[in-house]
Amino acid sequence: MDITFQRTGNLKEIASYPAWLGEVLDDTADLKQRIVNHPVIAAMSEARLEEQQAQAFLINGWPVVEQFPQYMAMNLQKLRYGGSRGHELARRYLTRNIRVEQRHAEYWTDWAAAHGVSERALMMQSRPSAAYSLSHWCWKSSNADPLAVSIAATNYAIEGVTGEWTSLVCGAGKYTASFPESVRQKATYWLRLHAHYDDEHPWEALEIVATLLGRDPQRSEIEAVRQAIQMSFEYYKVSLDCCL
């Protein structure tokens, strides 16, 4: 039996991927929904997030936004020329998106400025120690874990759930409309961008994971991917809890 994997179905249909990967996503779905349904996200969607909470959200989220291109660069260092097809998929994905992610930090500072948070405050403001847990985890995974595991932790889990909650916030429209028209476009660009551009990114990450590990990986490899996704969701929720 050929245990290699090459996607033939639709990119954004889980049936296009190995059964083991669908089971991992099912196992971690509840954790993902805790982020999408988090009180901070709900309050933002309804434009009732208190100013102090909005500022905490932007300050606490900055380390991950600022470091995200570095996570991808660390994964890029794991690749070797002439490697497997999974390595080539990862190379194209990472090199294409690192520069894109670097610009996102600029858009985050624009969002922060609309809530009275300066660039200096983003970089220098003290945060609860728990607020660093997500960035520390992403750094550790990107630096030390196998490529498939760290891609699952960051480019699937973090980008995927971010795309879902930003779509929810933008779809409701109340929060984006709460900004004065003179600054609305600039202040909400990060949100609107992630609500749309990230639509395919987590699926592309899943394709990389599936291609790297194949149709029938070792149980330990499956568990490592599952745990990485779970940890990303758990630490993401912790970072949101710090805003309340």
Which tens digits make up the pLDDT trace of 197-215?
557 899 999 999 999 999 9
Q: Is the pLDDT of residue 132 over 70?
A: yes
CA gyration radius for the chain? 18
Which tens digits make up the pLDDT trace of 168-177?
999 999 999 9
Span 65-82, average pLDDT: 93
The residue ranking higher by pLDDT, 2 or 125, is 125
Class of the CATH domain delimited by 21-119+128-241: mainly alpha
Listed by start position, the domains of the chain span 21-119+128-241
Q: For residues 141 and 149, give the distance between their C-alpha atoms in angstroms, rounded to a whole number.
A: 8
Report the mean per-residue pLDDT for the chain. Answer: 94
Q: Residue 197: its pLDDT value, please?
A: 56
Helix (H, G, I), strand (E, B) or coil at 34: helix
Nearest alpha carbon to residue 201 among 100, 61, 110, 82:
100
Q: Residue 76: its pLDDT value, please?
A: 95
Cβ partners under 8 Å of residue 82, min gap 6: none
Q: Is the pLDDT of residue 126 over 80?
A: yes
Q: Is the pLDDT of residue 135 over 80?
A: yes
Q: For residues 190 and 194, give the distance between their C-alpha atoms in angstroms, rounded to a whole number.
A: 6
Q: For residues 220 and 141, give the distance between their C-alpha atoms in angstroms, rounded to a whole number.
A: 16
Q: Residue 100: its pLDDT value, please?
A: 86
Nearest alpha carbon to residue 84 among 26, 142, 128, 148:
148
Q: Is the pLDDT of residue 1 over 70?
A: no
Q: Is the pLDDT of residue 106 over 70?
A: yes
Span 137-145, average pLDDT: 98
Q: Residue 142: its pLDDT value, please?
A: 98
Question: First vs last Cα of the chain: how many Å apart?
Answer: 52
Q: What is the DSSP code string of 194-205?
A: HHHGGGSHHHHH
* pLDDT level of residue 2 (50, 70, 90 thresholds): low
